[in-house]
Amino acid sequence: MIVAEDIEIPAGSEVAPGYTVLRLGSRGSLFDVYEVWSVERHCRCAAKVLRPHRRDEPKGRRRLFREGRLLLGLSHPNIVRAYELRERPDPVLVMEALPGMTVQYWLEENGRLTTPNLLHLGEHLASAVTYLHRRRILHLDLKPGNLLVSGGLIRLIDFSLARAPGRGHPGLGTHIYLAPEQALGRTLGAPADVWGIGAVLWEAAAGRPPFEYPDDSDAYEQLIRRATSIRRERRLPAALADGIDACLEPEPRQRPTVRELAELFDSLL
């Protein structure tokens, strides 16, 4: 029996006028991303839509509208580009279709990154986040699955949780990558994304995340213990190891700034 959450838009159908579905690219709890053919651009694009059984949920529609409007105002080589936001009858966010794989997929298939590739990842991620923070935007969902390796560039994707600094909501984001203050719903600023950068680099260096899901799904390991020093996982240049460990300091004020991280990666490269 087919249940509502399993329904896909069939290939050959239009997800919106002028955009023909080629295949389902990825599926999340709220959204599907389809690879589509754009008649106007005569190329493949990516179309993000609400999953069929969640189309009437105001929360999802608000998130997709906010993400689309935000992305249409951004222009950076390490951030996915948005082309168009269709608001009726159902919201559709059309973005560039990037060949390649996520950092998460790369780690699963190939294991941890070499030191040069780790620095390359850090440099591109710090550049994208610096750009966002200068525009008072926090990403708040930095993780290997939201970083795409494409044509020698690391591209930051999925801005559905992005917002201005301010009051948080408990648990909003991806469980094991949340900064402590984000897990607790406290005020969020740039240090929350610095934590995300540290978590990504720790996982890319070690081949596994710095924290795990506890047996109690409402608990957070990052609220119970500090991240193990990356030095215990592998040998890295001392300055890089210190930088990764500093990003995962429980106290936000003790973490480096994104600018300091960018300078660190540049100096090591």
Which residues are designated catalytic? 141
- Longest Cα pair distance anywhere in the chain, in angstroms? 57
Give the full edge-to-edge strand order of the sheet including 101-102.
101-102, 147-150, 153-156
Contacts of range 232-237, beta carbons closer than 8 Å, 24 or more positions apart? 233/202, 233/205, 233/206, 234/112, 234/205, 234/206, 236/115, 236/118, 236/205, 237/115, 237/268
Look up tokens 């795990």; give the residue.
Answer: 212
* Calpha distance 152→251 (Å, rounded): 34
